[in-house]
Structure 1
Amino acid sequence: MSKTPVTAVFDIGKTNKKFFLFDQNLEEVYSTYTRLDPIPDEDGFPSEPVLPMRDWMIETFKKALAFPEFEIKKLNFSGHGASFVHLDELGEPATPLYDYLKPFPEELLERFYSENGGKMEFCRQTSSPPLAMLNSGLQLYFLKYAKPDQFEKIRYSLHLPQYLSFIFTGVMVSDYTSIGCHTGLWDFEKMDYHPWVKRENIENLLPPILPGDHLLTTKPELGGIPCGIGVHDSSGALLPYLRKKSGIFALLSTGTWAISINPFNKTVLSEDELQKDCLQFLSITGEPIKISRLFIGEEHKYQIDQMYSFWNLPQGTYKKLKFDSIWYEKIQHTSTKRIKFHYLKPEDYGLNKADSTDWQSFSEFTEAYYTFLHELTDIQIASLKLVLEGAPVTQLFVDGGFNANAIFLEMLRRKLPGVEIIPSDFPNGSALGAALLVNSSN
């Protein structure tokens, strides 16, 4: 019996560690996953369990190599950003993989910004909103000055996706998509590492940068097969759309966060845009990609819970609603804002805000929900326009949780005339993007 040739991908998220096999048509033919408990770092804060993760990956891959029905032809990785694995001389982890939610000493952060032209100027140069540990490059500054004994042990620092590749190839590299995800490392004006990286001798810890479609080879005991260098998960999720369409489009990827991505927008980031959570990523070839972020999933969850509680309704009630133009016309002409947002700040986008929500002023749940989505899509469009201005598109793909919300989608269509709104989804998009990368290489 002939074996099916497949591409293997590890997709390492904070919660789930997944493994996929894709056939030659890039259809998923096998998957498995695990969850690993965090390990406290030296301060008792949860950290990524690097060694258990490495053991699981090697064991899982060796089992897959032995599958009688599949032959692994290529391997690649996607992983969450804002995470560094610091290695010693022997290539072993020298420190915990610090969680990006770990507190950053405020005094040290202020010192860093004062040394680098001030907070907002630094953020503008590096296209990185001020996010403390989420600016993963600053983790190295933190280690150098807050934990010098730990820092002394470090010989190499690899972004997580590239560490995953290193496990299987033994080759250390850096990658544009990881460097460019709000790390504070990259100067988007000079298109090089920011001067602080060189001044603090951090650059010496960072391996050479290779393009995202570069192929290495796994160690002989792991098959000796072509192997990618890994990709940042959000950048990987964009790739299926880039390969699918040749037209000019943007992607609104929804879930807890709504991420607006315009891969064709190369305009310079302003301080005003940064303050509205707009930033830039780097593509697999090192080109800037403009994105904006909005916490709409969590906002939706909060407001729905408020409505269900007020009207004593069961979970899932909103999913039964269909778009109704009569309701839309009615709430659209309400003169004042009526929903007080919990997480979002309409005023940040020049929109009016409500001081409180008077649920009693609504005739029923449907009116309240339509009003909420009307005001939510106003904010969403303001966030979208941050990446559309200067680089307009004709199509907007919407994937993730909100692509099944007919009311949300129809409101976007009516408020964005001239843009085709296309609900679309690539299941396991980050892993699929990683598979595409190694299959597009020569």
Structure 2
Amino acid sequence: MKTIAIFDIGKTNKKLLLFNEQYEVVYQYSEELAETVDEDGFPCEDLAALKAFLRTSFEKVQKDSSFEIQAVNFSGYGASFIYLDENGAELGPLYNYLKPFSEDLRARLIQKYGLEEGLSAETASPFLGNLNSGLQPYRLKYEKTDFFLKIKNALHFPQYLAYTFGAEPVTELTSIGCHTRLWDFKKNQYHKWVQKEGLADLFPPIQSSDTVFEKNGLLVGVGLHDSSSALIPYLKSFSEPFILISTGTWSICLNPFNSSPLTEEQLQQDCLSFISFEGHQVKASRLFAGQMHEDAVNTIAKYFEVKKDFFKSLRPKEIESKRSFEKIELNNFKTPEEAYTAFMEDLIEKQIHALKLILTPEIKQIFIDGGFSKNHFFLKGLKEAFPEIQFYAAELAQASSLGAALAIHDKWNDKTMPTDLISLLKV
């Protein structure tokens, strides 16, 4: 069976999947790897354990005679760099993007390059500390100068994964575009602050998302940023303008059809822009909805002494609360159903606001995937708020993995791309 292997490397779960030529998952394996710590004692990815996972899991499927692996590609979390020396060897740890960023360095950047608002607008990202991965080599330049001077190449994490399989050191667009503060979205080049600081010299040549290298008869893709990769099946499947609300820990609204510059209001409310695998701007807004939901459900279940899945059988029509979950103590609710309804009304209001931040008039359809695509309160609330738009609950297993496979479809698969990759249920 001809297949493509995809490594989908998240912060917690590390997965290897094989897709056949019809993009059906024919093999899946995952592990959770324990973190290690950097020299400051801050948690970070254990690169030795990760490389062992990549090697051993791939060798296992290579030896399986039922699979003929044509190509391998990668979907990985963003906002992270691996540094290589002049011999191509790794330098130091994979620093965690959650590591606090120095206020002194932030002040230095502002003093040298102007107010943060201007930089945020030009690079299409609010200030997010080390989550702006471009600030990570900047930090090394001033806090760990000896280390910085040894760096020959800085590889975005998905491109590092490809590098371990023999791909050349490259830079890929979706990784540049994930809230890095590296890219000037107006001039379509590295921002002047990146060039003036000498950081641009560390980044290998930019290659398109469908680039492959041949290594020992295997086609090796260059990897993609996972959120951008998850958008690819939708861009390949639908030509009419749409918004995707991708829900998990974060609820991320993605509008690939909104190319207007981010306004100050949008930046102040956590909006940013990604770069699609085709090189186009994708405007996005974020809400910590999944985590908020988990916290609220746990709190309600504990207070009322019910199971944590109590909400799954509820339907919006059963209870109309119209009381704020945030402002009223739980003892003011008579039942867990009533408390949950109040919480969801608050959450939906926040989601409506986040959606409006990136909504444009031509959008007539919105797809919702992930956990909230099965939440009746969530779906009903959005549909009532935007009656002129058609909402669809989308079922798409392994979206980011599938996107990484589709990105190099023409390089490994001579069959026509299927038209039924995404299952839609009209809300």
TM-score (norm 2): 0.93
> Residues of 2 paired with 1:157 and 1:163: CA distance?
9
The amino acid that maps onto 1:202 is L
Q: Which residue number corresponds to residue 217 of structure 1?
A: 214
Q: Which residue number corresponds to residue 112 of structure 1?
A: 109
Does the alignment pair 1:418 with 2:411?
Answer: no
> Residues of 2 paired with 1:362 and 1:58: CA distance?
53
Cα displacement string for residues 169-196 of structure 1 (whole angstroms, at most 9, x for unaligned residues): 2411101100000001001121110001
Q: Which residue number corresponds to residue 408 of structure 1?
A: 378
More divergent stretch after superposition (139-148 vs 246-255): 246-255
Q: RMSD across aligned C-alpha pairs, in angstroms? A: 1.6
Cα displacement string for residues 148-174 of structure 1 (whole angstroms, at most 9, x for unaligned residues): 011111110000111111111241110
> Residues of 2 paired with 1:108 and 1:423: CA distance?
44
Kindly indicate whether the alpha-carbon contact (under 8 Å) linking 2:74 and 2:162 is maintained by their aligned counterparts in 1. Answer: yes
- Among all aligned residue pairs of Structure 1 and Structure 2, give the percentage whose two residues are the same amino acid: 42
Q: Which residue number corresponds to residue 324 of structure 2?
A: 338
Q: Which residue number corresponds to residue 201 of structure 2?
A: 204
The amino acid that maps onto 2:372 is F
Does the alignment pair 1:33 with 2:30?
Answer: yes
> Residues of 1 paired with 2:340 and 2:328: CA distance?
12
1:59: Cα distance to partner? 2.8
Q: Which residue number corresponds to residue 252 of structure 1?
A: 245
More divergent stretch after superposition (254-263 vs 59-68): 59-68
| 2:341 aligned residue (370, 383, 387) | 370
Cα displacement string for residues 95-154 of structure 1 (whole angstroms, at most 9, x for unaligned residues): 211001112111112111222212222111111111111100100100000010111111
| 1:273 aligned residue (261, 266, 271) | 266
Cα displacement string for residues 28-67 of structure 1 (whole angstroms, at most 9, x for unaligned residues): 0011122222222111112212233223212322332221
> Residues of 1 paired with 2:73 and 2:230: CA distance?
14
Distance 1:60 1:310, change over 3 A: closer
> Residues of 2 paired with 1:411 and 1:12: CA distance?
33
> Residues of 2 paired with 1:265 and 1:53: CA distance?
37
SS in structure 2 of the partner of residue 78 of structure 1: strand
Q: Which residue number corresponds to residue 283 of structure 1?
A: 276
Q: Which residue number corresponds to residue 420 of structure 2?
A: none
Kindly indicate whether the alpha-carbon contact (under 8 Å) linking 1:158 and 1:174 is maintained by their aligned counterparts in 2. Answer: yes
Q: Which residue number corresponds to residue 314 of structure 1?
A: 307
Number of residues paired by the alignment? 412
1:309: Cα distance to partner? 3.5
> Residues of 1 paired with 2:50 and 2:336: CA distance?
46
1:441: Cα distance to partner? 4.3
SS in structure 2 of the partner of residue 388 of structure 1: coil
Q: Which residue number corresponds to residue 256 of structure 2?
A: 263
Kindly indicate whether the alpha-carbon contact (under 8 Å) linking 1:75 and 1:438 is maintained by their aligned counterparts in 2. Answer: no
SS in structure 2 of the partner of residue 62 of structure 1: helix
More divergent stretch after superposition (102-111 vs 32-41): 32-41
Cα displacement string for residues 311-345 of structure 1 (whole angstroms, at most 9, x for unaligned residues): 33222111111231x63xx44xx4xx6222xxxxx
Cα displacement string for residues 355-391 of structure 1 (whole angstroms, at most 9, x for unaligned residues): x3133444433333222212211110110111113x5
1:252: Cα distance to partner? 0.6
Does the alignment pair 1:387 with 2:358?
Answer: yes
> Residues of 2 paired with 1:97 and 1:181: CA distance?
17
The amino acid that maps onto 1:410 is K
> Residues of 1 paired with 2:52 and 2:377: CA distance?
46
Q: Which residue number corresponds to residue 351 of structure 1?
A: none
More divergent stretch after superposition (378-387 vs 302-311): 302-311
The amino acid that maps onto 2:282 is I
> Residues of 2 paired with 1:315 and 1:370: CA distance?
15
SS in structure 2 of the partner of residue 157 of structure 1: strand
Kindly indicate whether the alpha-carbon contact (under 8 Å) linking 1:281 and 1:289 is maintained by their aligned counterparts in 2. Answer: yes
Kindly indicate whether the alpha-carbon contact (under 8 Å) linking 2:232 and 2:277 is maintained by their aligned counterparts in 1. Answer: no
> Residues of 2 paired with 1:63 and 1:126: CA distance?
42
Q: Which residue number corresponds to residue 421 of structure 2?
A: none
| 1:101 aligned residue (94, 98, 103) | 98
The unaligned stretches of length 5 or more in structure 2 are 413-427
Does the alignment pair 1:131 with 2:128?
Answer: yes
TM-score (norm 1): 0.90
> Residues of 2 paired with 1:39 and 1:118: CA distance?
36
> Residues of 2 paired with 1:217 and 1:54: CA distance?
20
SS in structure 1 of the partner of residue 397 of structure 2: coil
More divergent stretch after superposition (16-25 vs 37-46): 37-46
Kindly indicate whether the alpha-carbon contact (under 8 Å) linking 2:167 and 2:222 is maintained by their aligned counterparts in 1. Answer: no
> Residues of 1 paired with 2:33 and 2:346: CA distance?
39
> Residues of 2 paired with 1:213 and 1:361: CA distance?
56
Q: Which residue number corresponds to residue 369 of structure 2?
A: 399
| 1:239 aligned residue (209, 213, 232) | 232
Q: Which residue number corresponds to residue 422 of structure 2?
A: none
Q: How does 1:168-187 map to 2 (within 5 A)?
A: 168-187=165-184
Kindly indicate whether the alpha-carbon contact (under 8 Å) linking 2:174 and 2:209 is maintained by their aligned counterparts in 1. Answer: yes
| 1:65 aligned residue (53, 62, 74) | 62
